[in-house]
Amino acid sequence: MKRFSAEGILLLITLIWGVTFVIIKSALQDISPMLFISFRFTLSALILSPFIKNLFNPGAKQIIKDGIFLGFLYFASFATQTAGLKFTSATKSGFITGTFIIFIPLFQFLIEKRIPGKGNFIGIFLAFTGLIFLSAKGTSFFEVFNEMGSGFNEGDFLTIICAIFVALYIIYLDKISKKHDYKSLAFLQIGTTSVCSISAFIIFSLTGLEETKLQLNENVVSALLYTSILATVFATFYQTKYQKKVTPAKAGIIFSFEPIFSALFAFFILNEKISNFGLLGCFLIFSGLIATEVIVQRTLPKGIPSELRRYK
C-alpha cells in the first residue's frame, strides 16, 4: 500500500506539471525565460527557507553536496525546457520532454550497472510509442511517422537536452533521497536552482544572449504563483519524499503521463482538439504503466523483501 500511495503522489505531481506547459508558454509572451525561472525558484526557495536550519547541524556536509548536485540537474532541466518553449509549441515540448523515459534505462545501466526488468522495457516501449501518437497531427500512420523529423528547431533541441537532464535527475534522486532528510534536500535543490537561474539571467543579459523582457501583468503573476507554489514547492517536496519508494523506470513511466494531462488541459482551457491518434497515444501510455505493474509483479519470486522487490 505504501508503494501504491507513492505512485499516486507521483501521478498527482504529474497532473500538476501537465498544466504548466500551457501556463508558461503563455507567460513567456511577457517575460524572458531566465527571468521567469529566476522569479519562480527564488519565491519557492523563500517558501522552503524554514528548513535551512537543519543544514547547520554537524555532519550536514554530505547532504549539502548532494543537494547542490541535484539542484544543478534540476536547474539544467528547467532552464533548457523553459528556453525551448520560447521557440517550440507547448504540445511539442510536452512530447519531447516525455522522451526522458528512453534515457532512464540507458543511464541506469551506465551509472548503477543495473538492467531494468523486461516489464519495465515493455512499459517504456509502450509509453514512448504512445508519446509519438499523442503528438501526431496526421490522419494516417504514414503521416504520423513522416512528420516525426519535420520542423525540428532550436527549441526542440533544447528540450531534448532537458529530457536528458530529467532522466539523470530521476536516477540520482532515487539514489540520494534514501540517505537524507527530504525536507532539507528539497530546499537545497530549489535554492541551488534559484542561484543558478539568477546567475544565468545576469550572464545572458550582459552578453546579449537573451533579451530582458518583463511585464508584471495578471498572466505572468498567476503563472509565477502556480509554478512556484504547486509545480515547484509541492512537487519537489513530495517527489523527493516519495520517489524513492518506486523504481526510476516506474517513476519515468508515471511521469510520461504529463503530455496526456497537458493535452487534456489544452482541450478544456484552450479548446484544442485531441486527434484519434492522440487518444491511441493516451491508451498506449496507460497500457505501459499497467504492463509494468502486472509483468513485474508476476515475475517476482515469492519471499523477496519489499525493499529488494522494487529493484526487479
Q: Kindly provide the residue ranges of all beta strands, DSSP E only, lying in the chain, ordered along the sequence.
A: none
The C-alpha cell 527549441 sits at: 155
Q: Is residue 18 within 8 Å of 260, Cβ to Cβ?
A: yes
- DSSP single-letter state for residue 55: G
Q: Is residue 99 within 8 Å of 121, Cβ to Cβ?
A: no
Instruction: Name the residue among 197, 147, 200 with its Cα closest to residue 45.
Output: 197
Question: Which residues partner with 214 through β-bridges?
Answer: 31
Q: Is the pTM of this model over 0.75?
A: yes
**Tens digit of pLDDT per residue, the chain (312 long)?**
556 788 899 999 999 988 888 888 889 889 998 999 999 999 999 988 887 776 667 777 888 999 999 999 999 998 999 888 888 777 677 777 877 877 888 888 888 777 767 777 787 788 778 777 766 665 666 665 665 555 567 888 898 899 899 989 999 998 898 888 888 888 999 999 999 999 999 998 888 877 888 888 999 999 999 999 999 999 988 988 898 888 887 887 888 788 778 777 777 776 666 677 777 877 887 787 677 666 654 544 444 333 334 433
The C-alpha cell 553536496 sits at: 65
Q: Is residue 170 within 8 Å of 252, Cβ to Cβ?
A: yes
CA torsion, ordered 307, 14, 97, 252, to nearest 10 deg: 20
Cα–Cα dist 155/157, whole Å: 5
Residue 69 one-letter amino acid: F
Q: Is residue 96 within 8 Å of 160, Cβ to Cβ?
A: yes
